[in-house]
Amino acid sequence: MSTTPRIESGAERPLSIENERTSIYPWIVVGMGAMVFMSNYTDKTLMSVVAPHLMAQLSISKIAMGWIFSAFAITYTLLQPLLAYLSDIFGARRSVGLMVLWYGVFTILSGVTALNIGQLAWMRAATGAGEAASMPAATGGVSPWVPSGKRALSQGLMHSATRLGAAITVPLSVASIIAFGISGPFWVFGIATVAIGIVWLIVYRAPSTSHGKKNQLIHGKRLWSAVLKSRSMWALCIADFCYFYTLTIYLTWLPTFLIKDHHFTMLKVGIYGFLPFIGGMMGSVLGGAMCDHLCARTGNRKLWRRLIPSVGMICSVLLLLPAVYAKSEFTTILLFSCSFFFLDATISVFWAIAMDMGGSYASTSAGWMNTWANVGGIISPVAFGALVQWSGSWTLPFLVASGLMVIGGGVVWLIDTEMRLSDLIETAH
């Protein structure tokens, strides 16, 4: 028996999308979405800066550190499909706002327990639970406000905020550790995250047409049947898995790699470690803008939404391997930055495809894609630590990541960018 999902209440004062789409408010929504995305990545990146200090101060192994990274990713991944789907039902305002407040509070609590590895692991797991579907839910909130021809650009802007957040997190975390100790970064970024959640709850309003879209939501069984049977959705998930496996190395192990293998000082990591993320920020925006421009100019959306991420992943590999083997500190950082540029030229396109495929189920579609990306996020830090510990080589994990990126660049061509979940549901019905 189908159920009627609950829709956003009138207290949220929905706005007329016809009138507001031509105003500044849609870009305010994109800006707020960017802040939510940024808070996800400041939280992830601060752990990569704290990790060398924890390993030195508490004498923990690389594998144990990998599990601390993965404690967050496990709950983040397991809860994401359910919470993303519930966001489609209950609406973006409450869903996103409450999620952001939750993981902001638990980021602060991670600082309280920073020197107790067992308690820290539990706090990181709780943080991951709250953060699980915040990006897909924010995508669902942005989706009705942004025309389909601007979706890759909007995602490029939001993902560029994640890289900017990651970039500033490195020097700010180093400064916080110097000033306040290991718990400092958790307090600084946790408080900032709580503020972002409050702003979202105050400012975000659903467009009036979202009521109609919410009423189109059907029993979850048929929706999830369509998701699981879609070859294009699975191809998108695999490609994003390969992308995120490599991205996670930047977010977790890169500072430690630069210190241990390339003999960077902590000061140099603080000064130069943000540059790869600046490269990623530029790649996110330019990749999304270029995709939207070429799709509009040629009318061939299917080609460009396959070609741009495929080329981006291959070019990223061609620059990543020289970065790993480079001897000069300047050359190493420059090549990592360029590799990250091409890596992130893919992600805005992936999320735009998920928005298009999902339609009224944009949170569900993006959440399912991002779930499998974060399976890579679980495996990557543990695999990296294990490969280094067992082989003694800091370069071997990058070779594995490069192989996955080549696979991802090929799988992209299996995605039918014109597939819509609503069509599959109607066909099955």
Tens of pLDDT, residues 127-169: 999 998 899 999 999 988 988 888 999 999 999 998 888 778 8
Q: For residue 10, what pLDDT band results from cuts at 50, 70 and 90?
A: very low
Indicate the pTM of the whole model.
0.80
- What average pLDDT does this structure show over 54-74? 77
Whether residue 4 lies inside any domain: the answer is no
Most confident stretch, 81-90, 100-109, 374-383: 100-109
Q: Between 214 and 59, where is the model more confident?
A: 59
Whether residue 201 lies inside any domain: the answer is yes
Whether residue 7 lies inside any domain: the answer is no
pLDDT at 4 over 50: no
Please write the tens of the pLDDT for every residue from 371-415.
Answer: 999 898 888 888 998 999 898 889 899 999 999 999 999 999 999
Whether residue 113 lies inside any domain: the answer is yes
Domain span holding position 226: 12-428
- Range with the lowest mean pLDDT among 6-20, 205-219, 242-256, 357-371? 6-20
**Mean pLDDT of the chain, nearest integer:** 85
Whether residue 389 lies inside any domain: the answer is yes
Percent of the chain with pLDDT over 70: 91
Q: For residue 8, what pLDDT band results from cuts at 50, 70 and 90?
A: very low
pLDDT at 218 over 70: no
pLDDT at 22 over 50: yes
Q: Quote the number of domains for the chain.
A: 1
Residue of 277, 424, 275 whose CA lies nearest to 358: 424
User: What pLDDT is recorded for position 183?
Assistant: 87
Whether residue 2 lies inside any domain: the answer is no
User: What pLDDT is recorded for position 66?
Assistant: 73
Whether residue 6 lies inside any domain: the answer is no
Please write the tens of the pLDDT for every residue from 315-348.
Answer: 999 999 999 998 888 899 999 999 999 999 999 9
Whether residue 41 lies inside any domain: the answer is yes
User: What pLDDT is recorded for position 351?
Assistant: 94
User: What pLDDT is recorded for position 420?
Assistant: 87
What CATH number should be reported for the domain holding residue 392? 1.20.1250.20
